[in-house]
Amino acid sequence: MAASSQPHVLVARRIFPQVVERLRECFEVDDNPTDTILERSQLVERLQGKAGAFITASERIDAALLDACPDLRAVCNMAVGFNNIDVQACSARGVMATNTPGVLTETTADLGFALLMAAARRITEGERYLRQGRWTRWTYDMFIAPDVHGSTLGILGMGRIGQAIARRGALGFGMKVIYHNRTRLAPDLEAPLAARWVEKTTLLRECDHLVLVLPYSDQTHHAIGAAELALMKPAATLTNIGRGGLVDEDALAAALQAGRLAAAGLDVFEGEPHINPKLMALPNAALTPHIGSASLRTRRAMADLAAANLIAALCGQRPPSLLNPEVFGLHSR
């Protein structure tokens, strides 16, 4: 039998079966239905002869891997963040890299605000107390906490998700919104939220509830460390739905334990899925396992967009969310 003329692609993790079938209409697909996270050597082996890869944050694409997999022409991430992809290395080798922005904005903002509420109102702490059978009577100061409504919401990183968080705070909870971003928003975006751009130090000093929605990079590594935490109010909370590396977790744990910060809500962690044991031991840390985009509709939309990117990239069309447009149309080898 003659070899198939269709490009060969790898789907590195288990995804919706309907999406795999969609890819099979265009490609020869090597998928991973057992959802085993591939070790580096296994990933390189499975990528041999593959023109494209459908990946998640579990797979690291760097220069060494690209050099070991010379047939790759596209790597398509099922995530909005892409710190697992060395985009510069991809561009140098003519490999298209894509992500899935936009489709997870509102769902991630929902989770971010839920974590803010859980941390601020001590919800997970109270639940543990109840489940442990320790609730025997009411007292006036039991799990007393600062208000969310009418307080000052600080947002570090005012992209799509940051703006969606601001909208929930301003319109739903009457919060005063301040933010810091590398570039100030246009007035027509600020106005509906009554949002005010401030310097980072002002943001940290003035906010009652801080939400991190920055992209992760070398420049934003440990954007919140001991010095930054020392500027915050002791009654303030910190919520991180960006990337774990944005926060110095040892410094955060020390601040929470010492009462220099009231509480934290974290959906992302620097060494995930391994969690800093100092954070695990703290009752005033509300922790979730990176589920910001975990609604059925959103996860399916992410998978569909990643698949659309891969199909476009290998069929001569511009992928909808191409991270390195300078390589579009070039032959990778």
Positions annotated as catalytic residues are 243, 272, 290
Q: Is 75 strand, coil or helix?
A: strand
Per-residue burial over 57-78, b = 16 or more CB atoms within 10 Å of its CB, e = otherwise: bebebeeebbeebeebbbbbbb
Alpha helices in the chain (DSSP H): 17-24, 40-46, 63-68, 87-92, 105-120, 123-131, 160-167, 173, 187-190, 200-206, 226-231, 249-258, 277-280, 296-314
Q: CB neighbours (10 Å) of residue 248?
A: 20
Among 222, 279, 276, smallest CA distance to 255 is for 279
Residues with Cβ within 8 Å of residue 284, at least 6 apart in sequence:
119, 122, 125, 256, 262, 263, 264
Residue 9's φ and ψ, nearest 5 degrees, are -135, 155
How far CA 54 is from CA of 96, 201, 279, in Å, comes to 12, 40, 33
Q: CB neighbours (10 Å) of residue 131?
A: 9
Sheet holding 28-30, edge to edge: 28-30, 8-11, 52-55, 74-77, 96-98
Residues with Cβ within 8 Å of residue 115, at least 6 apart in sequence:
239, 241, 265, 266, 267, 286, 288
